[in-house]
């Protein structure tokens, strides 16, 4: 076991921080198995064992150590995570994104005759809501996560996770447009998600009804869903604007 | 007229060997594939037959799904190849769409040809659109720019007259033909390498080879049409095609990256 950990440590030295591994997922193959995810089996074991400690200990090194202990690794194995507590945040983001495909009731078009199948827009909204609800258990600690995500060395991963989430939602909802609306759709959805997620950290209303209203208003405002932003100027302007908003919501001063 | 068709056939004859260079490598790689050049639509199914008929590891592993993920380099190649192809076909549809009204107005007999070429380009564009969506590849960020540039090129060359419009087609299709041939070579090398390591090849890769081969053949058909319609008589031919080809190269280079 010790040798396994040292190898992991050794490898981490080469594949170290700035460039997130496998965050962008180009060429999704349907016949070849997917490439390995961003976490090694050891990392996965420790990180998944850490999750139950988040509500009490937050996104902290303590949580990581407790997770390592629970997964029966020595305390020093937390050295596997050069980015420390951010790895828990990253793990949460990756696994909750992957979990979206399990919401079959949203994704499957209802087979009832006569029932109008939900449109892409409705599916997008439902998936955003499911993703937000997946933060329910850790929402009182989420501002710690946001602070970690906004640290300069973690920003590339944070942004790329946010855009992967946005891409995942459009893909699952069945959107197939591959023109310049591809960018506006993802940018606007990322903005909506990030701002609603931030709103949710301060929401004390029952069943997060205030968050729901906030999200509905954001979707209303964007009006990008279902329409195509035609002009080049609008497209450039909107993308830049959305990018800025996303960074602001992550605590970057721009 | 007779004189033209004479010159035409020698020109065509002179072109053929250039595109046939792929033939030997095709025979080597997908062994039991017989007719090489105009497989077009049946290429994918032929490739499938090839793998089930060939004795050895291929036949045994045919029902198996590929067990190895594609490497980062392979996925990077496929991503940028499909992205640049979509951008190219977008440009092609826009060029023909912009050229058609002025050309058809001045030369009504070209209407069926222009429509035929446009329809094929629209088919290519649809093919790559659905491949991008299926494989979750983002379109080029230069999409709006290519839209403007391609329309301007089509419109501009059409205003210069039939010969210039055809010279534009000649230049574009020459670059595109080379570009698709390059991709085919790379893909076939990749498949050969995977086969030699005993890896199972995903059906989507085999289909892609068939698709690109069919589209390449259609692009070369457009090139032939352009030459038949006096592309070489455009003045100044070399300058015009040289500039357009350089533009295509630049656009391909950029679209592969962003
Ligand atoms: Fe084409
Ligand atoms: Fe063409």
Average the pLDDT over each of A110-124, B103-117, B154-168 and give the range with the smallest value. Answer: A110-124
d(CA A35, CA B71): 7
- Check if the beta carbon of residue B170 is closer than 8 Å to that of residue B226: yes
Give yes or no for residue B10 having a pLDDT over 70.
no
User: Chain B window 66-85: which residues touch A at a Cβ cutoff of 8 Å?
Assistant: 66-70, 72, 74-76, 78-79, 82
Is a pLDDT exceeding 90 seen at residue A214?
yes
User: pLDDT per residue over A117-135, tens digit each?
Assistant: 778 888 999 999 999 999 9
Q: Residues B162-191: what's their mean pLDDT? A: 89
Residue with tokens 């058909």: B221
Do the Cβ atoms of B135 and A176 come within 8 Å? Answer: no
The verdict on a CB contact (< 8 Å) between A29 and B137 is no
Which among A31, A33, A232 is the nearest to B144, CB-wise? A232
pLDDT confidence band for B156 (50 / 70 / 90): confident
* Percent over 70 (pLDDT), chain B: 75
Q: Given pLDDT bands bounded at 50, 70 and 90, which one contains residue A110? A: low
| Model confidence band, residue A115 (pLDDT cutoffs 50, 70, 90) | low
Residue B227, judged by CB atoms within 10 A of its CB (0-12, 13-18, 19+), counts as buried
Chain A residues inside the 8 Å CB shell of B133: 176-178
Q: Could you please report the per-residue DSSP string of A148-176? A: HHTSGGGHHHHHHHHHHHHHHHHHHTT--
A232 interface with B at CB cutoff 8 Å: yes
Distance from C-alpha of B87 to C-alpha of B125, rounded to nearest angstrom: 8
User: DSSP for chain B?
Assistant: -HHHHHHHHHHHHHHHHHHTTHHHHHHHHSTT----TT-GGGHHHHHHHHHHHSTTHHHHHTTSPP-SPPPHHHHHHHHHHHHHHHHHHHHHHHHHHHHHHHHHHH-GGGHHHHHHHHHHHHHHHHHHHHHHHHTT-PPPTTHHHHHHHHHHHHHHHHHT-HHHHHHHHHHHHHHHHHHHHHHHHHHHHHHHHHHHTTPPPPHHHHHHHHHHHHHHHHHHHHHHHHHHTTGGGSTTHHHHHHHHHHHHHHHHHHHHH-
What CA–CA distances, in Å, run from B107 to A51, B136, B161, B234?
A: 72, 42, 10, 16
Phi, psi of B68 (to 5 degrees): -100, 135
Contacts of B141 (CB under 8 A, 6+ apart): A183, B258
How large a percentage of chain A has pLDDT more than 90? Answer: 50
Domain boundaries, chain A: 4-24+120-249
The secondary structure of residue A82, as a DSSP letter, is: T
> If you average pLDDT over each of A17-21, B43-47, B182-186, which comes out highest?
B182-186
Tell me the CA–centroid distance for residue B219 and ligand 1, in Å. Answer: 6
Q: Cα(A90)–Cα(A43) distance, rounded to whole angstroms? A: 12
Q: At what angle do helices A155-172 and A232-249 cross, to 10 degrees?
A: 120
Round to whole Å and give the CA distance between A95 and A104: 17
The answer to whether the CB of A179 falls within 8 A of the CB of B146 is no
The per-residue pLDDT for B50 is: 38
Q: Which of A74-78, B28-32, B108-112 has the lowest mean pLDDT?
A: B28-32
Q: What's residue B80's pLDDT?
A: 92
Encode burial over B150-164: b for 16+ CB neighbours within 10 A, e otherwise: bbebbbebbeebbbb
- Under the banding of pLDDT at 50, 70 and 90, the label for residue B204 is confident
Asked if the model's pLDDT at residue B31 lies above 80, the reply is no
- Picking from B48, B89, B138 by the largest number of A CB atoms within 10 A of its own CB, the best residue to mutate is B138
Residue A159, pLDDT above cutoff 70:
yes
User: Could you tell me if B109 lies within 8 Å of chain A, comparing CB atoms?
Assistant: no
Give me the residue label for tokens 């403007």: B148
Residue B59: per-residue pLDDT: 42
Q: What is the mean pLDDT of residues B142-150?
A: 87
Given the cut 0.90, state whether the ipTM is greater than it: no
pTM: 0.74
Give the number of the ligand closest to the Cα of residue B212: 1
Which among B75, B129, B143 has CB closest to A180?
B143
**Mean pLDDT, residues B21-33 taken together:** 38
Q: What is the mean pLDDT of residues B107-116?
A: 90
CA distances to A37, A183, A219, A234 from A238, rounded to whole Å, are 32, 10, 15, 6
Q: Is the pLDDT of residue B149 over 50?
A: yes
Identify which of A171, A177, A180 has the shortest CB distance to residue B136: A171
Q: What is the predicted pLDDT for the residue at A243?
A: 66
Mean pLDDT score of chain B, rounded to an integer?
76
- Residue identified by tokens 């076991």 is A1
Q: Cβ neighbours of residue A223 under 8 Å, at least 6 residues apart? A: none
Range of weakest confidence among A125-134, B61-70, B152-161? B61-70
**Residue A220: predicted pLDDT:** 84
| Cα B244 to averaged position of ligand 1 atoms, centre (Å) | 16
At B61 the pLDDT is 44
Which of A250, A137, A251, A132 lies closest to A200 in space, CA to CA? A132
Q: Is it the case that residue A114 has pLDDT exceeding 60? A: yes
Predicted pLDDT at B234: 74
- For A96, A102, A165, B66, B160, the CA distances from A99, given in Å and listed in that order, are 5, 6, 11, 25, 57
pLDDT of residue B232: 76
Cα-Cα-Cα-Cα dihedral sign, residues B1, B6, B11, B13: positive
Q: Span B183-192, mean pLDDT? A: 92
> Distance between CA A5 and CA A9 in Å, rounded?
6
pLDDT over threshold 90, residue A147: yes
Give the mean model confidence (pLDDT) for residues B147-171.
85
For chain B, which residues make up each domain, given as ranges?
A: 80-256
Please report where in the chains the tokens 């080379």 appear, as a residue.
B178
User: pLDDT at position B242, please?
Assistant: 83
CA B107 to chain centre: 27
Q: For residue B224, which of B41, B68, B14, B50 has the smallest C-alpha distance?
A: B14
> What is the pLDDT averaged over residues A188-208?
92
Residues A66, A69, A74, CA angle at the centre, nearest 5°? 125
Where residue A63 falls among pLDDT bands split at 50, 70, 90?
very high
pLDDT for the residue numbered A54: 94
pLDDT, greater one: A92 or A224: A92
Please tell me the least confidently modeled range out of A38-42, B4-8, B98-102, B134-138. Answer: B4-8
- At A29, is the pLDDT very low, low, confident or very high (cuts 50, 70, 90)? confident
Centroid of chain to Cα A215: 17
Does residue A190 register a pLDDT over 80?
Answer: yes
The answer to whether residue A105 scores a pLDDT higher than 60 is yes
Q: Which residue of B has its CA nearest to A33?
A: B69
Q: What's the B124 CA to ligand 1 centre distance in angstroms?
A: 5
Q: How far is the CA of B193 from the centre of ligand 1 (A)?
A: 28
Cβ-in-10-Å burial (0-12, 13-18, 19+) of A64 comes to: buried
Report the pLDDT value the prediction gives residue B236, as an integer from 0 to 100.
Answer: 77
> What was the pLDDT predicted at A241?
57
CA dist., res. B40 & res. B184, Å (int):
13
Give the residue from A32, A37, A186, A190 with the most B CB atoms within 10 Å of its CB, the best one to mutate: A32
């Amino acid at each position: 076991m010790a040798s396994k950990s040292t190898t992991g440590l050794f490898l981490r030295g080469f594949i170290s921080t700035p460039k997130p591994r496998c965050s962008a997922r180009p060429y999704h193959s349907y016949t070849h198995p997917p490439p390995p995810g961003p976490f090694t089996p050891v990392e996965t074991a420790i990180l998944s064992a850490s999750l139950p400690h988040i509500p009490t200990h937050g996104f902290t090194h303590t949580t990581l150590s407790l997770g390592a202990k629970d997964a029966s690794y020595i305390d020093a194995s937390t050295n596997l995570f050069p980015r420390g507590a951010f790895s828990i945040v990253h793990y949460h983001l990756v696994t909750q994104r992957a979990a979206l495909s399990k919401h079959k009731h949203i994704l499957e078009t209802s087979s009832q005759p006569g029932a109008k199948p939900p449109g892409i827009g409705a599916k997008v909204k439902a998936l955003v809501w499911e993703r937000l609800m997946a933060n329910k258990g850790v929402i009182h600690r989420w501002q710690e996560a946001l602070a970690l995500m906004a640290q300069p060395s973690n920003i590339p991963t944070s942004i790329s996770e946010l855009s992967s989430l946005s891409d995942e939602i459009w893909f699952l909802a069945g959107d197939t447009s591959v023109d310049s609306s591809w960018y506006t759709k993802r940018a606007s959805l990322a903005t909506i998600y990030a701002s609603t997620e931030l709103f949710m950290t301060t929401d004390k209303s029952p069943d997060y009804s205030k968050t729901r209203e906030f999200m509905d208003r954001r979707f209303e405002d964007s009006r990008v869903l279902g329409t195509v932003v035609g002009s080049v100027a609008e497209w450039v302007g909107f993308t830049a604007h959305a990018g800025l908003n996303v960074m602001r919501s992550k605590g970057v001063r721009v | 007229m007779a004189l033209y068709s004479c010159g035409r056939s020698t020109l065509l004859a002179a072109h053929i060997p250039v595109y046939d260079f792929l033939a030997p490598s095709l025979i080597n790689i997908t062994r039991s594939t017989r007719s090489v050049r105009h497989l077009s639509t049946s290429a994918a199914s032929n490739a499938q037959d090839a793998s089930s008929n060939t004795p050895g590891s291929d036949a045994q592993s045919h029902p198996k799904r590929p067990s190895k993920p594609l490497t980062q380099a392979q996925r990077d190649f496929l991503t940028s190849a499909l992205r640049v192809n979509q951008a190219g076909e977008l440009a092609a549809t826009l060029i023909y769409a912009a050229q058609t009204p002025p050309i058809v107005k001045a030369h009504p007999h070209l209407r069926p040809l222009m429509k035929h070429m446009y329809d094929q380009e629209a088919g290519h564009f649809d093919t790559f659109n659905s491949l991008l969506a299926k494989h979750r590849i983002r379109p080029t960020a230069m999409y709006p720019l290519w839209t403007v540039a391609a329309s301007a090129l089509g419109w501009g060359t059409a205003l210069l007259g039939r010969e210039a419009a055809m010279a534009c087609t000649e230049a574009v299709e020459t670059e595109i033909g080379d570009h698709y041939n390059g991709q085919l070579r790379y893909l076939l090398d990749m498949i050969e390498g995977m086969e030699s390591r005993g890896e199972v090849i995903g059906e989507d890769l085999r289909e892609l080879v068939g698709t690109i081969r069919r589209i390449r053949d259609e692009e070369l058909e457009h090139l032939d049409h352009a030459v038949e319609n006096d592309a070489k008589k455009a003045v100044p031919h070399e300058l015009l095609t040289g500039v357009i080809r350089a533009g295509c190269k630049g656009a391909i280079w950029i679209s592969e990256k962003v």
